[in-house]
Amino acid sequence: MPGKTTIIEVARAAGVSKSTVSRVLLGGAQVKAETKTLVLKTIEQLGYERNDLASSLRTDRTRMVMLATPDITNPFWPEVARGLQDTIERDGYSVVLANSDWDAEREQRFLSTARRNRFDAIAINPAVVSERDLLAHGTPIVILGLRDDFSSLDMVGSDSYHGTFQALDYLYELGHRRIAFIRGKHRSGRGHARQRAYNDFLHRHGLPFDPSLLVEAPFDLAGGQQAARTLLRLTNRPTAIFAANDVLAIGAMQTARQLEIDIPTALTVIGMDDIYAASTTIPPLTTVAKAKYEIGAWAARFLLDRIDSTAPIAPRRHVIPCRLVVRGSTAPPRSAG
C-alpha cells in the first residue's frame, strides 16, 4: 500500500522549495500568485494532506479553538457556534465544542484539556469558572456575553439590558401594568442585565415591585412551565409575562394552554433570543432578537487578533444591539379593550 504524499514530493513535483510549499499551506504570505496557484494545483493532483501535528510542533500552533458553552441543548448556542466556525475556518482553524452543562468540575476539565492539547484560543460563556482562572490559563480567550465580573478579558455579547427595556416598554404601551418576569436561574448565582432592566423599568414608570411577579427558574422548558404555573395560579395574576429567554417563554405558553388561558387575549407573553422555534409556536412568539451568528463571528475575529498579536493590550467589549420582533403572542390586556 503506497504511503502518504509528503511535502517534499509536492515541492519536487511543483519545482519549488519545501519552504515555499510550507508558506502556501500557512496562507501564502510573500508567495507570488502564480507560484501559489501551481503549488495548490500540485497538492490537489498528488492528494497531499497536511500533517497538523507536525506543523504544530514547528509553529507552536495547533489551529484548534475551543467553544465552551453551559448548555448546548439551548437553541441559542448552535447559531453562535456557526458564526464562530464560519469565520475562524477561513484562517485554517477548527472548532472543538465543549458543553459544561453548568457543572464546575466539567468546565475546569475542559480548560485543562485545552491547555494540555495546546489549543490556540477559547471562546467561553462561563458557567462557574472565574476570571482569575481564565487569566491564569495563558491562552487568548473571549467571553461570550457581557459580564461585569470578566472585565479583564475580551467579550462579545448582546445588549440584553436595553433589549429587555424595549420589550417591557412595548408591554407598557399596550396597556399592561401587572407584568411578570421569569428570570433565568444561573447555577453560578450571578445576576444579569435583564433583572436590572426590570427593576429600572418599574421605577421609571412608577410601578410597585410585587415579589410574587418575579419567579426564578432554570433556563429550560420545564423551568418555564413551572414558573408560569406559579404565576397563573395567583389570585391577581399578571396580564403579561416577560421571560428571560425563548425556551422559558415557550414553556410558559404551554402551561397557559394546559390551563385553557388564551394567548394573547387573556395573557401576553414575550421571550428573548429569537430562536427558530419562536416563529413556529401557536401563536408565534413575540421576542427580543439577538444577533447570534454575529456574536460568534465577532468572537472569532477577537480570537484571531489575539492569536496573531494584532489586538490592543486593553480588553475589548463589543456590544450588539437587540431588536424587538412583534408576533402574535402579544396584545393589549382585556381591561384596555
pLDDT tens digits for range 177-226: 999 999 987 655 454 889 999 999 999 999 999 999 999 998 889 999 99
Contact yes or no for 182/252 (Cβ under 8 A):
yes
Q: How far apart are CA 67 and CA 77, in angstroms?
A: 10
The segments of the chain whose pLDDT lies below 50 read 1, 53-59, 189, 191, 336-337
Q: Specify the pTM.
A: 0.79
Predicted pLDDT of residue 27: 61
Q: If you classify domain 64-159+292-321 with CATH, what class do you get?
A: alpha beta
Same fold, 64-159+292-321 and 160-289+324-336: yes
Strands (E), the chain: 64-69, 94-99, 121-124, 141-144, 154-158, 179-185, 214-218, 240-243, 268-273, 286-289, 317-320, 323-325
Q: Please enumerate in sequence order all residues whose Cβ is within 8 A of that of 79, keeping only pairs 6 or more positions apart, or say none.
A: 292, 293, 296
Contact yes or no for 215/231 (Cβ under 8 A):
yes
Predicted pLDDT of residue 285: 98
pLDDT tens digits for range 318-331: 999 999 999 999 99
Q: Where along the chain do its domains lie?
A: 7-50, 64-159+292-321, 160-289+324-336
> How many other CB atoms are there within 10 angstroms of residue 140's CB atom?
22
Contact yes or no for 140/124 (Cβ under 8 A):
no
CATH 3.40.50.2300 fits 160-289+324-336, yes or no: yes
Q: How far apart are CA 253 and CA 243, in angstroms?
A: 11
Q: For 7-50, which CATH superfamily applies?
A: lambda repressor-like DNA-binding domains (1.10.260.40)
Helix, strand, coil percentages in the chain from 3-state DSSP, rounded to 5: 45, 15, 35
Q: How far apart are CA 200 and CA 190, in angstroms?
A: 18
Contact yes or no for 42/5 (Cβ under 8 A):
no
Predicted pLDDT of residue 336: 46
